[in-house]
Each structure stands twice: as C-alpha cells, then as structure tokens.
Homo-oligomer: A and B are copies of this chain.
Amino acid sequence: MDSVINGIDVEALKSFADSAAEDPEKAKAKFAVQTRWTGQTRTVSSVKSYGLLGETYERSFTIEADEPQELLGNNTAPNPQELLMAALNACLSVGYVLNAAMAGVLVRSLEIETRGELDLRGLLALDEEVNPGYDEVHYRVCIDADATTEQLEEIHQAVMRTSPNFSNFSKSIRMVPELVVVGHE
C-alpha cells in the first residue's frame, strides 16, 4: 500500500498515533483565536499560534466576518453561522479523508452540504423559551471513493465518533468567560 493516500501521509499518521498512545501529553493540541471588532457587525479574527507536542507553532491567518445588510451588517464577509458550518464541514472532511486513508480507501471526491435554521427570537431576547442556537443541524455527505457502500458507511460512523467538531456541535461545552472592562479607573 502506498504510504500517501488521499494526500495523507499514512505512515506519519500512524507514527503520530503511536506517540500519542504512548504519551497522552503528546496528544494535546491547543488552539487560540484573537478577534477584534472593526465597527458595525464586522470582526477580524487573527490566528497567531497553536500548540502541539508541547511546542508552540507560529501561524498567520485572518478570518473576517460580517452580517448581511438585512441583519444590520454591511455584507463584507461570511457571517458567524456560515463560519460555524464551514468549521464543521472542514473538520468532517478531514475525518473522512483520514479514516479512508487509514483503511487504504482512495477518495475521488467529497462534498458536504450543511444547513440549519435559527429562531432569531432567541437572539432578540423576545422569548426565554427559544433556543438562540440550532436545535438541529442537517448535513449531507456525498462521497465517491474506491470502496464498498459498507466500507463507506463504517467510515461515516467513525467520523461521527471521532470528529472534533462533530463532538463540539453534538455535545455541550463548558464555557469559561472572563469580562475585562478597559479604561475604567
């Protein structure tokens, strides 16, 4: 079996998994994002570093967000809901491709479409009973791969068990906020 499948270096993946199995500290990945409001509903998020294996790696990306005009923004960038869905889909995609690579399955194409409906009465504080977020999120995965339907169904199940952002959507996360009021004596 070729060591690179779907662009994934399977030997490197196995070696990473071995070191993580041996020392759980090596499995810890730390992510951080700094976001600055730039007026109206617009923000620019900066990614400057991440941590892995006790090392800090420099990064340099920005992620812009805005709201469409009907939602009081200026429509200069995707909105927070769209970024959230892209984060889910990107993570799921990596999951399918990694699991396929580990199983020796060549993926020819992979597309994921995700949709959800918000009840904005939550955001607008019109009804405390209304969930401001999604009650449910639907996604459809279209995959063309050199595998049986059964193999692909197994990979599909594995992705639901192991994808970080599938878990982040489907489980509750404990939120730990801190408010710093600037400029007050």
CB within 8 Å of B: which residues of A? 6-9, 12-13, 16-17, 20-21, 24, 27-37, 39-41, 43, 45, 47, 50, 52-53, 57, 59, 61, 63, 65, 67-68, 70-72, 75, 77-91, 93-98, 107-126, 128, 131-145, 149, 152-153, 156, 158, 160-184
Majority DSSP secondary structure for residues of A touching B: mixed
Nearest Cβ in chain B — how far from A157, in angstroms? 9
Residues of B within 8 A of A131 (CB): 167, 171
Q: Which residues of B contact A20 (CB under 8 A)?
A: 120-121, 124, 126
B40 lies within 8 A of A8 (CB): yes
Bound Cα distance A45, B142 (Å) = 14
* Beta-carbon nearest neighbor of A24 in chain B: B121
